[in-house]
Amino acid sequence: MTSYKELGLVNTRDMFAKAVKGGYAIPAYNFNNMEQLQAIIMACVETKSPVILQVSKGARDYANINLLRNMARGATEYAHELGYDIPIVLHLDHGDSFETCKDCIDNGFSSVMIDGSSLPYEENIAVTKKVVEYAHQFDVTVEGELGVLAGIEDEVSSAVSHYTQPSEVIDFVSKTGVDSLAISIGTSHGANKFTPEQCTRNADGILIPPPLRFDILAEIEEKLPGFPIVLHGSSSVPQEYVKMINEHGGKLKDSVGIPEEQLRQAAKSAVCKINIDSDGRLAMTGTIRRIFDEHPEVFDPRKYLGPAREALKEMYEHKNRDVLGSAGKA
């Protein structure tokens, strides 16, 4: 058993309390490899932002749990070396079972998500409560989820979304004891969040997605005053990277994300954690495709992973400063 405290990590409790009070959101950036981790830490130290390093079940299988634990330790030491000890959380994203959550807690994670959102309500409560009871013995915080997001990734998939029902949130939070709650108000996983039919087009033919359901968020806030709320599926799908990918041999079609303005608005509410994965994938893939296309002679991975890391860092700095409001809050 490794406690996250030995790795220099923190849980989400204080971080979320400050974020809800301060009207900003903590970035939860997914990572799978060294360059992504370096970019996240460099950007968050540069902007003095607290950060949640997020590992999906797929990432855990890809990178290896022992390496991840040591990468997290490395991240806290790296931040220190860069000159600023930002608060860092290591979080399991979309934990699918009690066993996965327990394994992560035993391996130095300071926070876990148990995603029972696709289960019948009573089963979601039962598994979430079981994770909370185990996690809290070690001062690890737990995120639960009510409502289903649309979108598809390796481990998370649903064709349609079901908005969170505000009438259920008090019962769910009090019966499970979760520390934060992920809700569904119209965000969606992946780079194709909405079909063109769900969107309108502006004068330039750009797809404009349907607005988030801030009315549902307001109802939830009214029922759970000051309780930390989480938004998944919050990539903005920057069109510059979609274009870069497609101009250099990629094939992304109708990729559309959540407008930054709406995330800015959400961050000012009880939404205190905003999950972003797809935008990192787009920035990395766009940059690497461009370099491969423009410099076919390159075969040293540092020559394309280095610029990809730089693009990620710049994008994360922008999000911290201009979208989530987390810059300067560490």
Residue 279 touching ligand G3H (CB under 6 A): no
Query: Residue 46 or residue 124: which is nearer to ligand G3H going by CB?
Result: 124
First to last CA, the chain: 28
Query: Residue 155 or residue 314: which is nearer to ligand G3H going by CB?
Result: 155
Residue 59 touches which of Zn ion, ligand G3H, ligand 13P, none (Cβ within 5-8 Å per kind): ligand G3H
Q: Which stretch binds ligand G3H (CB under 6 A): 65-73, 124-132, 154-162, 222-230?
A: 154-162
Amino acid identity, residue 199? C
d(CA 172, CA 222): 15
Assess whether 14 carries a catalytic annotation: no
Bridge partner list, 95: 114
Query: Residue 232 or residue 309: which is nearer to ligand G3H going by CB?
Result: 232
d(CA 126, CA 114): 11
Residue 176 touches which of ligand 13P, Zn ion, ligand G3H, none (Cβ within 5-8 Å per kind): none
Residue 94 touching ligand G3H (CB under 6 A): yes
Amino acid identity, residue 123? E
Exposure on the CB side of residue 294, measured as CA atoms within 13 A: 11
| DSSP conformational letter for 49 | -
Residue 58 touching ligand G3H (CB under 6 A): yes
x/- contact string, 206-235, with Zn ion (CB under 5 A)? --------------------------x---
Query: Minimum CB separation from Zn ion for residue 48, in Å?
Result: 26
Residue 302, both tokens: 């540092």
Residue 156 touching ligand G3H (CB under 6 A): yes
Mapped onto helix, strand or coil, the DSSP state of residue 299 is coil
Query: Minimum CB separation from ligand 13P for residue 119, in Å?
Result: 17
d(CA 271, CA 267): 5
> Of 14, 61, 85, 93, which one is the catalytic site residue?
93
Query: Residue 315 or residue 327: which is nearer to ligand G3H going by CB?
Result: 315
d(CA 256, CA 254): 6
Burial class for 162, CB neighbours closer than 10 Å (0-12, 13-18, 19+)? middle
How many residues are given for the chain? 330
Residue 115 touching ligand G3H (CB under 6 A): no
CA distance readout (Å), 167 to 64, 83, 90, 211: 40, 46, 31, 22
Residue 91 touching ligand G3H (CB under 6 A): no
Query: Minimum CB separation from ligand 13P for residue 123, in Å?
Result: 21
Q: Judge contact between 183 and 154, C-beta under 8 A.
A: no
Q: Which stretch binds ligand G3H (CB under 6 A): 4-12, 55-63, 103-111, 258-266?
A: 55-63
Farthest-apart Cα atoms in the chain, separation: 60
Q: Which stretch binds ligand G3H (CB under 6 A): 148-156, 158-166, 180-188, 304-312?
A: 148-156
Judged by the rule CB under 5 A, the positions of this chain that interact with Zn ion are 232
Q: Enumerate the active-site residues.
A: 93
Judged by the rule CB under 6 A, the positions of this chain that interact with ligand G3H are 30, 56, 58-59, 93-94, 153-156, 189, 232, 277
